């Protein structure tokens, strides 16, 4: 590109003239372009400091007359370990990351609990990694309680907390800074199959880490709450308009939830795909180290996503990138996520 070229004023009359400025070489030659003298900008004030602050991540939408608020607990990024996918080599995992416009050799896990206001009940579904992890991660995760406040949700007003399954990223936020229930007026509901599984020491003995290590955490959290959650069964309407659905495999009693109002509904899927969820959407056959039953988890993924893609069902995914709301389409031998458009109003 010459100075002569850049001084041409596009007039809209001559296609060739305009397009001469639009070549790959010009677009990528940032360094060469930078050598041109910039236009003078008057300096009327001091440089504005960098903000280094993100928008508190919450997003609200209607489901019929209900309000659903997705509230991020944050996200963390860790090196990709050789055992992250039990049945695929690291180079295949890296290829999938890159195909998803993600950097190789690391995996990002995002966490998005949900608040549903049905108009008569205020319900939280899953609770994030908790305040301990907030401190440990320097705010990268464990943001749920502060983002709830930013979203204008009063923890004291919450009627029920529905837990999808007993992994730490879903239950730790049940506890406040005082290690008591962070939602003091709420009934805590846990799938009966989860309670039976995690309370049985014999199960801890027969699983390797990282699953073995999770048993103590379940006892820690629910022990602090007096070990008295309400146990619920699959297919039950837990609160008017919120119905549980068995989606086992990730854990034995893992439940998803259908939030329905009028003719409108959303599937709150929890961990049908967990961790770096995009990878397991693309490869439902991949075995996560966190799945207690890999083949059953795979089967559940196919059942849920074959249904959701055929019916163009809206899905809210705990581990989808925030705000975690989208549609699933068939793609190759798996699926892909199509995020729903953000509505700047409600």
91-150 binders of a copy of itself (CB under 8 A): 100-102, 108, 110, 117, 119-122, 139-140, 143
**Closer to a copy of itself by Cβ: residue 110 or 171:** 110
Dihedral of the alpha carbons of 134, 115, 218, 287, in degrees to the nearest 10:
-90
Rounded CA gap, 306 and 289, in Å?
A: 24
Range in contact with a copy of itself (rule: CB under 8 A) among 25-33, 126-134, 167-175, 214-222? 25-33
Say how far residue 206 (Cα) sits from the centre of its chain.
29
Q: Map tokens 């009627």 to a residue.
A: 159
Return the residues of window 196-215 that contact a copy of itself according to CB under 8 A. Answer: 196-197
Site string for a copy of itself, 295-324 (x = CB under 8 A): xx--xx--xx--x---xx--------xxx-
> Among 87, 135, 136, 156, which residue sits at the site for a copy of itself (rule: CB under 8 A)?
156
Dihedral of the alpha carbons of 116, 61, 134, 161, in degrees to the nearest 10:
10
Rounded CA gap, 132 and 130, in Å?
A: 6
> Among 33, 95, 177, 216, which residue sits at the site for a copy of itself (rule: CB under 8 A)?
33
> Among 172, 214, 251, 269, which residue sits at the site for a copy of itself (rule: CB under 8 A)?
251
Return the residues of window 48-87 that contact a copy of itself according to CB under 8 A. Answer: 48, 50-60, 67, 69, 72-75
Do the beta carbons of residue 328 and residue 335 sit within 8 Å?
A: yes
Rounded CA gap, 190 and 229, in Å?
A: 6
User: Quick one: DSSP state of residue 340?
Assistant: P
User: Quick one: DSSP state of residue 13?
Assistant: S
> Among 172, 247, 288, 316, which residue sits at the site for a copy of itself (rule: CB under 8 A)?
247
Range in contact with a copy of itself (rule: CB under 8 A) among 85-93, 220-228, 246-254, 281-289? 246-254
Return the residues of window 274-293 that contact a copy of itself according to CB under 8 A. Answer: 292-293
């Amino acid at each position: 590109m010459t100075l002569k070229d850049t001084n041409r004023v596009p007039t809209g009359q001559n296609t060739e003239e305009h397009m001469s400025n639009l070549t790959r070489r010009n677009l990528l030659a940032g360094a060469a372009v930078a050598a041109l003298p910039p236009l003078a900008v008057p300096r009327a004030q001091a440089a504005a400091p960098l903000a280094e602050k993100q928008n508190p991540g919450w997003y609200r939408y209607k489901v019929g007359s209900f309000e659903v608020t997705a509230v991020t607990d944050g996200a963390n990024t860790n090196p990709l370990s050789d055992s992250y996918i039990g049945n695929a080599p690291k180079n295949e995992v890296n290829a999938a990351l890159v195909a998803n416009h993600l950097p190789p050799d690391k995996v990002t896990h995002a966490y998005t609990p949900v608040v549903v206001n049905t108009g008569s009940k205020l319900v939280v579904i899953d609770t994030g990694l908790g305040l301990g992890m907030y401190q440990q991660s320097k705010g990268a995760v464990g943001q749920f309680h502060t983002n709830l406040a930013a979203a204008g949700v009063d923890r004291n007003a919450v009627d029920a907390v529905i837990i999808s399954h007993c992994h730490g990223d879903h239950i730790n936020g049940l506890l406040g800074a005082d290690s008591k229930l962070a939602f003091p007026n709420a009934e805590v509901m846990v799938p009966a199959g989860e309670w039976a599984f995690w309370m049985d020491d014999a199960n801890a003995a027969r699983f390797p880490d990282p699953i073995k290590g999770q048993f103590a955490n379940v006892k820690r959290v629910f022990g602090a709450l007096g070990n008295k959650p309400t146990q619920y069964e699959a297919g039950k309407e837990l609160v008017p308009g919120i119905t549980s659905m068995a989606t086992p495999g990730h854990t034995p009693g893992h439940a998803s939830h259908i939030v329905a109002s009028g003719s409108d509904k959303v599937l709150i899927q929890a961990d049908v795909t967990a961790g770096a969820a995009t990878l397991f959407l693309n490869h439902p056959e991949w075995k996560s180290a966190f799945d207690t039953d890999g083949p059953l988890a795979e089967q559940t993924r196919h059942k849920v996503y074959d249904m959701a893609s055929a019916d163009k069902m809206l899905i809210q995914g705990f581990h989808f990138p925030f705000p975690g709301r989208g549609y699933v389409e068939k793609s190759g031998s798996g699926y892909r996520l199509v995020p729903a458009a953000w509505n700047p109003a409600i």
